[in-house]
Copies of this chain bind each other. A is one copy, B any other.
Amino acid sequence: MPHKPKTLQRRVVARSRLFQVEAVSLRFANGVEVEYERLTPGTGSAGAVLIVPVLDDDTVLLVREYAAGTDRYELGLPKGRVEHGEEPLAAAARELREEVGYAARRLTLLRRVTLAPGYLSHQTQLVLAEELYPAYLEGDEPEALEVVPWPLSDLQGLLACEELTEARSIAALFIVREHLEI
């Protein structure tokens, strides 16, 4: 295991409502010094949850939602922010009701993933939601999300949809398909 570089200096170089960019000066074990930039979510966020809602043992419920980052509608799994002090499963339960209109009798924390650990500190907890029942909760979405059911046994067909691009949704779908042995 390599020896972690020593942080020589850290300073905030840019800040917006949601993001903060830090410049970090590091000295590696071999003496080489570099400066990197890393992005951290603004204060108030404790990471995100991504939920895989499975209905009737095989049907996964996705949402079609406008994505400001890519400026298009994207097909993906429901997700949301975890607030400070909130349990990831509580956040998952809330987002599932708001985005998909279901509650789950069983929520299982599967694993933690990162997006681009080289420059983002962001963490996402993947959550499996099973034994679903209708329980819509009004959220803060600007428009109702379209819920798109898909058989997990046809993951290849889903991956061929041009609207599904999000790596953490794709990873979560594979992980759940293995988990459920579909």
Q: Which residues of A contact B (CB under 8 A)?
A: 1-2, 4-5, 7, 13-19, 21, 23-24, 26, 28-30, 32-34, 36-39, 64-74, 76, 79, 111-124, 142-143, 146, 156, 159, 165-168, 170-172, 174-175, 178
By Cβ-Cβ distance, the 3 closest A-B pairs, closest first, are: A67-B117, A167-B168, A174-B174
Complex CA gap A30/B66 in Å reads 13
- Copies of the polypeptide in the assembly: 2
A15 contacts across to B, CB distance below 8 A:
14
A24 contacts across to B, CB distance below 8 A:
68
Cβ contact within 8 Å between B2 and A68 = no
Nearest CB of chain B from residue A179's CB, rounded to whole Å? 10
Cβ contact within 8 Å between B14 and A146 = no
Q: Report if A68-B38 is in contact (Cβ < 8 Å); known contacts: A14-B16, A143-B30.
A: yes
Nearest CB of chain B from residue A113's CB, rounded to whole Å? 4
Cβ contact within 8 Å between A165 and B117 = yes
Q: Would you give 20 A-B contacts (Cβ < 8 Å), ordered by A?
A: A4-B72, A14-B19, A19-B37, A24-B68, A26-B68, A32-B142, A33-B142, A34-B142, A68-B119, A69-B122, A70-B123, A114-B165, A115-B116, A115-B167, A116-B122, A117-B166, A156-B178, A167-B171, A170-B175, A171-B171
